[in-house]
Amino acid sequence: MPPEVLKFLHDVQQACELIEQFTAGKTVEDFRNDVQLRSAVERQFITIGEAIQQVLRVAPNLATSITESRRIVNFRNVMVHGYAQIVADTVWGVVETGLPLLRDEVWQLMPPNSTTAVDESE
């Protein structure tokens, strides 16, 4: 796998982990009422969408390895360009249902023993 793709996948992994940290022990009600939490989670979803978009650009064959990769990119586009349309409950639903699947799929794409062994200077 090209190093560039590994870097993007690492970015997805890191963003997934951050979202999980930010939302641990939180409820949808907490999410609705905490603008800082929403902003942090939405920012990480933007990173995920952009990284997936770049993965698909460099290695389009990986589209079948990431469930709903196109929807992930579209979700990012709404966050960036249609921010007024963002519904907290929808984002929370993605945190609860879509994020675990994405995290698992990306982990499976990473080579063994590559726990973030991507050169951060790239």
DSSP string, the chain: --HHHHHHHHHHHHHHHHHHHHHTT--HHHHHH-HHHHHHHHHHHHHHHHHHHHHHHH-GGGGGGSTTHHHHHHHHHHHHH-GGG--HHHHHHIIIIIHHHHHHHHHHHSPTT-SS-S-TT-
Q: What pLDDT is attached to residue 115?
A: 54
- State the average pLDDT over residues 93-112: 93
Q: What is the per-residue pLDDT for 121? A: 43
The confidence score (pLDDT) of residue 85 equals 86
Provide the pLDDT for residue 93: 95
Residue 26: the pLDDT is 97
The pLDDT of residue 113 is 67
Q: Identify the pLDDT of residue 105.
A: 95
Q: Write down the pLDDT at residue 83.
A: 81
In this prediction, residues 100-121 reach a mean pLDDT of 75
Kindly report, residue by residue over 34-66, the tens digit of the pLDDT.
Answer: 999 999 999 999 999 999 999 999 999 999 999
Tell me the helix, strand and coil percentages in the chain, rounded to 5: 80, 0, 20
